[in-house]
Amino acid sequence: MPPTADYNPTPHVIPEGENATPLEVVGGDCTATEKLVIVMCGLPATGKTHIAHRIARYLSFFLDMETKIFNVGDYRSKLFGARLPAEFFDHSNKECLAKREQACDEALKELMEFMKQDGVRVGVLDSTNSMRKRRTHIRTSLKDLKCKVIVIETVCDKQELIEHNIRTMKMGTEEYKDMDPDAAYDDFKRRRENYIDVYDPVDESDGSYIKIINNQTFVVHNTRGYLPQKVVHFVMNVHTLPRVFYLSRHGQSEYNLVGKIGGDSGLTDAGREYSRRLADFAQNEVAMDVEKDEETGEEKRTPRPARLWTSTLRRTKETAQFIKKSKISTFKWDNGDEVEWIQFQGRARRNLDELYAGICDGLTYKEIEEKYPEEFARRQEDKLTYRYPRGESYMDVTLRLETIILDIERTREPILIVGELVPP
């Protein structure tokens, strides 16, 4: 017997509304009460704060988790001022040691208050935490909260990388602002040496930990659960070296010209002109290292390896069609391997495709309003979570971009990404 109009009298109704995105973006085995504390550890200028901020951004945006960093240096500056000499960090100076412990305890206290609040949340305690005694105190203090704790230790024994970190990350901070660069560098080195004298490397007595050595070697010990494993996966893709990526929308497409969304149309004449100009930019800017002679002012331009990513759609591929794919005879990776590098060897990625509009694909917004007035109204109410019938929502797009972010994090070379406009 064929079904009648009311064949589904008790439909499955999701609380977010019809066609909305009922996604638990935290996924996996993560419950609504799971909490994680990340305790950063390592000598100064090993990239702790950089990595802490990377982790926090990743968890808060892609996993929609309440994440907050508690930087002990910020608390120390509020209590005792930003300009503190290297002698302040001498562990034999009992008075200064007590002040530093006071700043640590203030940060720990506020982290604990944050972690006591309801819901999934991640707190990051960003400090050197160089002594095992301090790390034991932190773990003991957190015990009653019944949250998972991971220690992330950053180790750097390459002098050129340490110097790079000091000069690029520390010299611009409030502590050394307007100070002679060489004097500031020497002061920070003395501060670092004070910590070396008392440093206890992380080991099994610290419980779950991730040890990052020169951003090349990773030791993972006793980490379990959804959240800790997500952190492990992300950290293994992060590095502290500077890199740049360029974002370009595709050139004007035939659908752009008539106001249609989605589809897989080619470029207009204006779009092809844009693609030619983008090719010049890629050749002269993206794929070139430019060094300026301080004395003569002359620029030295040297080719550098560069990558090209597009979506799988015709309009982005055509936008990249004029970019030259020349060869760099040999290129040496940081692990010592040598390869023959092809510049801008295109990689089409489905993750970069435009939001799929399902039954509305290929229509103008006016046509959607006329043909599907209820869907049009639902989308206007909440564009973030609204999912087109048989299509996607912005939340879906965000989730499929997670792997792209991981690839960007681990890539060392400049990347030119030719993508799509987010439909308004």
Residues 6 or more apart whose Cβ sits within 8 Å of residue 302: 288, 289, 291
pLDDT of residue 23: 47
In the annotation, is 96 catalytic? no
Q: What is the pLDDT of residues 342-363, one digit of tens each?
A: 899 989 999 999 999 999 999 9
> Residue holding tokens 């015709």?
314
Q: Output the CA torsion 121→125→131→135 (10° steps).
A: -20
Which one-letter DSSP state was computed for residue 244?
A: -
Residue 165 has pLDDT above 90, yes or no: no
Chain mean pLDDT for the chain: 87
8 Å CB contact between 359 and 372: yes
pLDDT of residue 254: 94
For range 13-27, the mean pLDDT: 52
CA end-to-end span of the chain, whole Å? 45
Residue 25 has pLDDT above 50, yes or no: no
Reported pTM: 0.82
- Per DSSP (E only), the strands in 119-233 are 121-126, 148-155, 209-213, 217-221
For range 378-396, the mean pLDDT: 91
Give the three-class secondary structure for 1: coil
Lowest mean pLDDT among 29-38, 60-69, 143-152, 415-424: 29-38
Higher pLDDT, 14 or 249: 249
pLDDT of residue 337: 72
In the annotation, is 407 catalytic? no
pLDDT of residue 159: 87
Tell me which amino acid residue 185 is: Y
pLDDT of residue 161: 82
Of 147, 153, 187, 250, catalytic? 250
Residue 194 has pLDDT above 70, yes or no: yes
Percent of the chain at pLDDT exceeding 90: 59
pLDDT band at residue 151 under the 50/70/90 scheme: very high
Q: What is the pLDDT of residues 265-287, one digit of tens each?
A: 999 999 999 999 999 999 999 99
In the annotation, is 12 catalytic? no
Compute the C-alpha angle 392/394/398, nearest 5°. Answer: 105
Residues facing residue 291 across a β-bridge: 300
Residue 29 has pLDDT above 80, yes or no: no
8 Å CB contact between 167 and 161: no
pLDDT of residue 20: 55
pLDDT of residue 5: 52
Higher pLDDT, 32 or 142: 142
pLDDT band at residue 221 under the 50/70/90 scheme: very high
Give the integer Cα–Cα distance in Å for 328 and 285.
16
For range 150-167, the mean pLDDT: 88
For range 70-86, the mean pLDDT: 91
pLDDT of residue 14: 53
Of 30, 41, 104, 156, catalytic? 156
Q: What is the pLDDT of residues 90-140, one digit of tens each?
A: 989 999 999 999 999 999 999 999 999 988 899 999 999 999 999 999 999
Residue 71 has pLDDT above 60, yes or no: yes
Of 34, 187, 353, 354, catalytic? 354
Structure tokens at 385: 């979570």
Give the integer Cα–Cα distance in Å for 274 and 269.
9
pLDDT of residue 27: 46
Compute the C-alpha angle 362/379/13, nearest 5°. Answer: 110
Which one-letter DSSP state was computed for residue 64?
A: -
Q: By CB neighbour count within 10 A (0-12 exposed, 13-18 middle, 19+ buried), where does 351 fall? A: middle
Of 126, 175, 375, 392, catalytic? 126
In the annotation, is 392 catalytic? no
Structure tokens at 65: 């988790």
